[in-house]
Every structure is written in structure tokens, then in C-alpha cells.
Amino acid sequence: MAKRWLKSAGIICIPVAVVLGSFGIGHVLMRDTDKHQIQSKYAAVLSAQAIAKKPSSTLDVKSVAPKPIIFSVLQKFQGIVTSQIQPPVKDKVIALTFDDGPAPKYTQQILEILKQQNIKATFFCVGEMVHYFPQLAKQEVAEGHVLGNHTWHHWLQKMNSEVAKNEIESTATAIFEATGVKTSLFRPPYGALNNGVADYAKKNNYAILMWSDDSEDYRRPSVSKLVNNVLREAKPGGMVLMHDGGGNRAQTVAALPKIIDALKKRGYKFVTVPQLLMQQQTAPLTTALDKLKKGA
């Protein structure tokens, strides 16, 4: 009887598998509490969709991506690691980037702030999260933001070529199926360049995109500390690392308007990562690998 009732109500229960990992550079993985939150919130999303019987017109797949959308970069950025572009640049520009989503609550709050400020950002998406919350990925694209690949599980451990391939390609498939987007932007979890995924990305002409300005929001600092972290390292041609998923991001949400206002007062314009890379003139690229070679 219970099974027939569930079927007639159109409710589908989908188990959520969340892979936990240890703390690392630039990120933290979802904890058990995050897993339970995702399960309950995803069930609520499905229930609401079943009751409504139709998707929101603003988030419908056809309205978001009537034909494939391609997020690409210039050929000189393909297959290399880039953390920023060096001055001179055409304008005083900076790119806001968000990792580990899309996630309920925080992604939506960040999108609302960006919409109010008329700013476009770049979201490096975890494939598993796109699978669970496709409507949020659709909303990101519908509102003019750029998507990048951040692997399926957000693993840190060493992976062989087949596992690395699956981590990236399954995420690419999830993004395309949810949004109609094909992206050549990739950010390795934790900024790890030697565990297999970055090597696969390089061989397949992804732009491996790091960051020059770390908010350290994964440490959950105070709002004022988070703002200061960003402002201290802000520079023309830089990429700011923040997170919309992977845990409690209340501080990021609270700090974001303050960060935007302060950078605007300094004369910055906000661009997506592909737009940022288009600003590159004749100056050499600043790459993470170059810094390591120079002992920086």
C-alpha cells in the first residue's frame, strides 16, 4: 500500500552518497551533517516538483539552454595551469569564483547577491552536486554565470588515469545534461596538481584554473577576517577563491556584499574567468608551476 501511495504521489526517494575527505588546501568536503541536510533538502525539492507538476519557467531547460552553450578559453590557456593574469591588463578587473556547489541555501543566497550587484561570476561545480541539484546549476547559467568542472567526488587521493577520467567526464556529462553547457574550465579539488586529475585535464585541453586570492572561507573565519583576506590579496587580473558548497557558508554569504563594495571603491570591475583571460595582453602568464620553479 505504501509503495503504491508513493508511486501515485510521484515521489522518488534517491539515496545520496556523499564522499568524505580530509581537510586540504582551499576546500573542505561535506561532513555527515551536510549529508543529512542534502538528503532532506533534496527530498523537499523533489516533493515540491511533484506537487507543482511543472518546472519553473525561469529554470526550464529549454529556456536556459535551447542549444549548447560553450564556455571556452583562448588556445594559449588550454592545457596549462593559470592562477592569474599579470598586468598590464586592459581594465582593472577581477574574477569572483565559487567552488563545491551547487548547494541548497548558500548558492541561492550568493546568486541573489550577485544579481542585485549585477555581477557575473564563475562557479566550479562538483558533479555529484549538479546531479542532486540540477535546478541550481540551471539557475546559474540562466543568470549569466560561467560553469567550470570541479570533478565528481572532490577527492584528494591519488587516482589512476581511468578514475581521473571518470571524475572529470562524469561531471562534464552532468553539467551538460542539466544545463546544456560544455565547459573547458577546470579547477582541481584542493588545488592538487599531482593526483591524476590535473594531468587528465591538461591532456584534454582544459584550462587548469587556480586562484591568486584565497578568502580562506573554508576555515570559517569571522566575516571581517574573511573580507580582509580577500582585500589583502586583491590585484588586477586576479581570481578570488570562495565557496558556495562543501559546508556551512554563512560567513561567505555575509561577507560577499562587503567584499564587492570594497573592491568597487578601489575601482575594480567584476568579470567571469573567460572574460578575465581575454584581458591578457603581452605579459607572460603567471602559473602555479612557474611560481614553484622560481621558489615563490
Q: Are 215 and 240 in contact (CB under 8 A)?
A: yes
In the chain, domain spans: 61-293
Q: Are 132 and 107 in contact (CB under 8 A)?
A: no
Residues in the chain: 296
Which residues pair with residue 208 across a beta bridge?
Answer: 81, 186
* CA–CA distances in Å: residue 152 to residues 56, 171, 200, 205, 220: 26, 5, 14, 18, 24
pLDDT tens figures, 210-266: 999 999 999 999 999 999 999 999 999 999 999 999 999 999 999 999 999 999 999
Range with the poorest average pLDDT among 42-51, 85-94, 127-136 = 42-51
Helices (H), 56-96: 61-64
Quick one: pLDDT at residue 88? 65
Of residues 292 and 215, more confidence is placed in 215
Confidence of residue 58 (pLDDT cuts 50, 70, 90): very low
pTM of the model: 0.75
- Beta carbons of 178 and 139 less than 8 angstroms apart: no
Distances (CA, A) of 277 to 6, 20, 251: 50, 33, 29
What is d(CA 190, CA 28) in angstroms, rounded to the nearest whole number?
8
160-205: per-residue pLDDT in tens?
A: 999 999 999 999 999 999 999 999 999 999 999 999 999 999 999 9
Question: In CATH, what number does 61-293 get?
Answer: 3.20.20.370
Q: Band the pLDDT of 91: cuts 50, 70, 90.
A: confident
Reply yes or no on whether the pLDDT at 142 is more than 80: yes
Catalytic residues: 99, 243
Residues 97 and 241 sit within 8 Å (Cβ to Cβ)? yes
pLDDT of residue 86: 75
Q: Rounded mean pLDDT of the chain?
A: 81
* Contact call for residues 210 and 25 (beta carbons, < 8 A): no
The distance from CA 149 to its chain's CA centroid, rounded to whole angstroms, is 7
